[in-house]
Structure 1
Amino acid sequence: MKQQNLHTRTDKLITIITSWIAGAVLLILLVWGGITLWNLKTYEETNDAQVQEYINPITARVGGYISAIRYEENQQVKKGDTLLIIDNREYALQQQEAEAALDNAEAQEKVLTSNIHTAEQTAAAVQEQISSAKARLWKQQQEYDRYKKLFDAESATRQQLENVETALQVARSDYQAALINYQASLSKTNDTKVQETVLQTEIKRRAAVLNRNKLDVGYTVITAPYNCQMGRRTIQTGQQIQPGQTLAYIVDQDAGKWVIANFKETQLRHMHVGDIAEISADAFPDQTFEGKIESLSPATGSSFSLLPPDNSTGNFVKIVQRIPVRIKLTDNTLALAALRTGMNANVAIRKK
């Protein structure tokens, strides 16, 4: 009888404990269910989200051998810091050659300028000769007219008239020669001026070549375009690189960070640009970050894929599509700096 009462008391105790445990579990389930229903009613949530930053390649604009590397893998660098140096001796020689060619062209321009000045002076001298020849021609014409009258009056011999006529023809030839020499001097002056114009164009071309060579020399020193963190290092000193070759990847820290959250198409009706978002990263589950919707993608993610779906082929299975939503992280906390590109995140946006 005592043993039966003991079993009865034990059963009652077990029943009470089980009831309390079941009640506690039921209460927890009710609370969890209530919170879940409240969140479903109040927020649009997704765990298909990743942290993003601008990741840009550093490329070489000239080819050559790497003479020095000034950064380490994953190093923080500032804008203007030297990342690597390419051997520039060949480009420096090309620059010196271009400088010499430009100096030679400028010296030729000075010579042409002097030739133009000389030709102008020669033309002026020939013009003076025209005046002198014209005066002699006039004098000989007067002399001939006088002797012609004398000859007609039989006061001068034919020989005298012929001598005066010959002198007149010589004066006329001298005058015509002076005119021709003057025109030739003007043509030579114009030709020299045309050569000077051509040479000035050549000087501009050689100056452009020199500036291009200076750019090439400057391109042999590669610097950081902004405050950033370097990625993995894959190059070594002495390695030959080609123009356009990617040398490293950098993460832009000046442009800020954002989250790309892929929401279902059925969730977008409650979202607008400027809405506040609550973000938590899987790496920091206890830390909540604040963000703001910057934009909604104009198309689904699958539409931007390499092979977009074509439902007109007949193999149609309706699948809920996702729309990328860009959310700018607006927190200035120190924990934000610990977020890395590609980290998974959870996003919740309050319905309106």
Structure 2
Amino acid sequence: MKNNKKDQIIIAFTKWTGILILLGITAWGLIYLYDITKYEQTNDAQVDAYLSPVNAKVGGYVEKIYFEDNQKVKRGDTLLVIEQDEYRIRKNTASSELMSSQAKLDILAAAEESQRRNIDVIKARISGAEAKLRQQEQEYERYQQLYKEESTTKQKLENVFATMQINTSDYNETQALLKASEAKLNDLHAERKAILAEIGTKKSLMERQDLDIRYTVITAPFTGQLGKKTIQEGQLVQPGQTLAFLTNETAEKWVVANFKETQIGKFRTGQKVKVKLDAYPDEEFSGLIESFSPTTGSRYSLLPPDNATGNFVKVIQRIPVRIRLTENRERISRLSPGMNANVYIIK
């Protein structure tokens, strides 16, 4: 009797369990049918955001690292420092070269002043030589008149003429010397311009060395969160080398959903989207279709398929669809790039 009662209980439990399972499957099927009639959906979707690489602008050995894996940083925080000894030596060398060029300028200024005084002396000599020449010319004219009147000898006239020729030569020589001195002064002016250009180059080189020293201190370009640390103290880094990746907390995040090509026929920009994340299964995020990829995802692969070769097998392609999240920034900030998502688009 007891066994019959026990069997009845087992049968009743099995019966109701089966009914509940059937009801659950039926409810799931109805919900699934409702979803596929109301939504186009895909689980091939991920949260995306811009990852900004932090690069080294100068090379050298890492002296000190001030961040850890996944650390949150603020704009301007020091991330790491590269050894500065080599760049300080270069700066000192550039500073010495600049001082040398500036010293040349002082020496040149003294040479220019000396040359100007020399020109003044030559100009004074020209005045004296010109006066002597004019006087001798007048003397020669008088002796010519006297020689015509037979009041002097031909020898005396020739002596006066020779003296006039000497004075003319002295005058011409002094004028030539003046031109040469003025030309030398012009050369000094040209040399000044060259030295000034050299000083400008050395100053630019100094500024470059100051910039390189500043670049040895690498700071966060904006507020965000760093990823995995891939460098160590003492490691040699090269200019342009990526030292870390930084996500911008204030920048937008979006979802890239890869829909089948058979699903997107009626999609349009601005269409409403419902997003569920595997990380937050009990929450829904709303969004809008922002844009469509101009090609299928396979076209961005390293070796895109070529259906003109070999045996052709038709494969449904997927089109990346960019979805802009319309939630407030506080909710979006909880999302991490790479999170898997389920996307539902109302038909």
Structure 2 length normalisation: TM-score? Answer: 0.89
Counterpart mapping for 1:119-158 below 5 A:
119-158=115-154
* Deviation by residue 1:26-48 (Cα, 9 ceiling, x = unmatched): 65555444433332232221100
Instruction: Pick the aligned partner of 2:90 from 94, 98, 107.
Output: 94
Instruction: Pick the aligned partner of 2:65 from 69, 73, 82.
Output: 69
Counterpart-to-counterpart distance in 1, 2:23 and 2:237: 68
Q: Does 2:308 correspond to 1:299?
A: no
Q: Which amino acid aligns with 1:56?
A: S
Seen in structure 2, the aligned counterparts of structure 1 residues 334 and 148 have a Cα distance that, compared at 3 Å, is closer
Aligned residue number for residue 261 of structure 1: 257
Q: Which amino acid aligns with 1:303?
A: R
Counterpart-to-counterpart distance in 2, 1:305 and 1:208: 46
Q: Does 2:80 correspond to 1:84?
A: yes
Instruction: Report if aligned partners of 2:108, 2:192 keep a CA contact under 8 Å in 1.
Output: yes
Instruction: Pick the aligned partner of 1:60 from 56, 63, 66.
Output: 56
Instruction: Pick the aligned partner of 1:162 from 158, 161, 173.
Output: 158
* Deviation by residue 1:295-331 (Cα, 9 ceiling, x = unmatched): 2111101001000000111321111100111222232
* Deviation by residue 1:116-139 (Cα, 9 ceiling, x = unmatched): 344344334423433332222111
Instruction: Pick the aligned partner of 1:112 from 85, 108, 114.
Output: 108
Q: Report the 3-state secondary structure (helix = DSSP H, G, I; strand = E; otherwise coil) of the residue aligned with 1:198.
A: helix
Counterpart-to-counterpart distance in 1, 2:90 and 2:37: 71
Q: Which amino acid aligns with 1:287?
A: E
State the identity %: 45
Structure 1 length normalisation: TM-score? Answer: 0.88
Q: Which amino acid aligns with 1:256?
A: E
Counterpart-to-counterpart distance in 2, 1:306 and 1:119: 73
Counterpart-to-counterpart distance in 1, 2:189 and 2:202: 20
RMSD value, Cα: 2.7
Instruction: Report if aligned partners of 2:249, 2:333 keep a CA contact under 8 Å in 1.
Output: no
Count matched residues: 343
What is the Cα deviation at residue 291 of structure 1? 2.1
Counterpart-to-counterpart distance in 2, 1:59 and 1:196: 42
Q: Does 2:204 correspond to 1:208?
A: yes
What is the Cα deviation at residue 21 of structure 1? 6.8
Gaps of 5+ in 1: none
What is the Cα deviation at residue 248 of structure 1? 2.1
Gaps of 5+ in 2: none
What is the Cα deviation at residue 288 of structure 1? 0.9
Counterpart-to-counterpart distance in 1, 2:200 and 2:239: 26
Decide which moves more: 109-118 or 222-231: 109-118
Counterpart-to-counterpart distance in 2, 1:236 and 1:314: 49
Aligned residue number for residue 242 of structure 2: 246
Q: Does 2:17 correspond to 1:37?
A: no
Aligned residue number for residue 289 of structure 1: 285
Instruction: Pick the aligned partner of 1:316 from 312, 318, 326.
Output: 312
Counterpart-to-counterpart distance in 1, 2:61 and 2:310: 56
Counterpart-to-counterpart distance in 2, 1:191 and 1:16: 115
Seen in structure 2, the aligned counterparts of structure 1 residues 178 and 301 have a Cα distance that, compared at 3 Å, is same
What is the Cα deviation at residue 224 of structure 1? 0.7
Seen in structure 2, the aligned counterparts of structure 1 residues 276 and 116 have a Cα distance that, compared at 3 Å, is farther
Decide which moves more: 71-80 or 236-245: 236-245
What is the Cα deviation at residue 333 of structure 1? 6.0
Instruction: Report if aligned partners of 2:272, 2:288 keep a CA contact under 8 Å in 1.
Output: yes
Seen in structure 2, the aligned counterparts of structure 1 residues 187 and 329 have a Cα distance that, compared at 3 Å, is same
